[in-house]
């Protein structure tokens, strides 16, 4: 009997190989040949599952973004529940936002890879919509989180949500970039958490 191949599983294996090659050697090294070798496949097999190199890279970028988004959604469900009390909301907000920071080995690798892909998106049109969609999704989530916190009395009533969304997004992006560029011994997980916590504290009403 002919061997039955799970198409999506094989595409996933190729995406994982792209991420390993890109993380180790840079995205410019993630050629069809190098990725096929990393995945233990013939180049023709990779071409069977992806129409071209651009589609392969985009699929890997989608997988990377989905990993981050799945973790964020796990926190967002409880956090955006109106029944969540103030203490749990404060803790939940910090933990949700921490998912955007490279606080451990896995998240540091993801942050480095995401920076690689978004930088490449400047000159690779096929990657640009995914980068823009992910950044827009992050901003929308931050807007919802801040808006719900203000509604629940955890933030000052006169807080400009649009401005604070941009400020928080810039803070998270900046911390992630510095941690990737300088390494976790220079920009430590503890320091990143302290900066995030202090920023969130600065948004609370003066009497709380």
| Structural domain count, the chain | 2
Give the range of the structural domain holding residue 148, as residue numbers without chain letter.
Answer: 60-202
b/e per residue, 143-182, with b = 16+ CB within 10 A?
bebbbbbbeeebbeeebebeebbebbbebbbebbeebbee
DSSP 3-state of 104:
coil
Assess whether 44 and 79 both reside in one domain. Answer: no
Could you tell me the pTM of the whole model? 0.88
Average pLDDT, whole number, for the chain? 90
Assess whether 169 and 198 both reside in one domain. Answer: yes
DSSP 8-class letter at 80:
T
Separation of alpha carbons 75 and 4, rounded Å? 38
Look at residues 72, 38, 64 and name the one whose alpha carbon lies nearest to residue 140.
72
Assess whether 20 and 104 both reside in one domain. Answer: no
Asked if the model's pLDDT at residue 1 lies above 50, the reply is no
Separation of alpha carbons 155 and 149, rounded Å? 6
Within-domain flag for 208: no
Within-domain flag for 16: yes
Q: How many CA atoms lie within 13 A of 171 on its CB side?
A: 19
CB 130 within 8 A of CB 57: no
- Find the CATH number of the domain harbouring 134: 1.10.357.10
Separation of alpha carbons 190 and 152, rounded Å? 28
DSSP 8-class letter at 27:
G
Residue with tokens 């911390």: 175
DSSP 3-state of 96:
helix
Asked if the model's pLDDT at residue 4 lies above 70, the reply is no
- Whole-number pLDDT of residue 5: 60
Assess whether 21 and 93 both reside in one domain. Answer: no
CB 96 within 8 A of CB 145: yes
Q: Token pair for residue 10?
A: 């094989």
**Strand blocks (E) in the chain:** none
Separation of alpha carbons 191 and 187, rounded Å? 6
Assess whether 65 and 30 both reside in one domain. Answer: no
- Whole-number pLDDT of residue 3: 52
CB 80 within 8 A of CB 150: no
Assess whether 35 and 2 both reside in one domain. Answer: yes
Assess whether 46 and 65 both reside in one domain. Answer: no
DSSP 3-state of 46:
helix
Within-domain flag for 55: no
Provide mean pLDDT across the span 162-169.
97
The model's pLDDT over 90-139, given as tens digits with 9 standing for 90+, comes to 888 899 999 999 999 999 999 999 999 999 999 999 999 999 999 999 99
């Amino acid at each position: 009997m002919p061997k039955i191949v799970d198409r999506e599983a094989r595409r996933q294996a190729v995406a994982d190989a792209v991420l390993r090659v890109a993380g180790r050697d840079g995205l410019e090294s993630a050629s069809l040949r190098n990725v096929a070798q990393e995945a233990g496949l013939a180049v023709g097999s990779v071409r069977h599952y992806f129409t071209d190199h651009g589609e392969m890279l985009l699929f890997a970028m989608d997988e990377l973004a989905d990993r981050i988004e799945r973790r964020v959604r796990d926190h967002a469900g409880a956090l955006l529940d109106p029944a969540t009390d103030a203490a749990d909301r404060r803790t939940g907000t910090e933990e949700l936002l921490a998912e955007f920071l490279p606080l451990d080995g896995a998240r540091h690798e993801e942050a480095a890879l995401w920076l690689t892909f978004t930088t490449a998106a400047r000159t690779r049109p096929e990657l640009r919509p995914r980068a823009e969609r992910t950044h827009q999704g992050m901003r929308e989530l931050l807007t919802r989180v801040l808006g719900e916190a203000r509604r629940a009395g955890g933030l000052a009533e006169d807080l400009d949500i649009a401005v604070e969304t941009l400020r928080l997004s810039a803070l998270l992006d900046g911390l992630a970039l510095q941690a990737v560029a300088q390494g976790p011994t220079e920009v430590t997980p503890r320091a990143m958490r302290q900066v995030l916590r202090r920023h969130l504290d600065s948004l609370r009403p003066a009497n709380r």
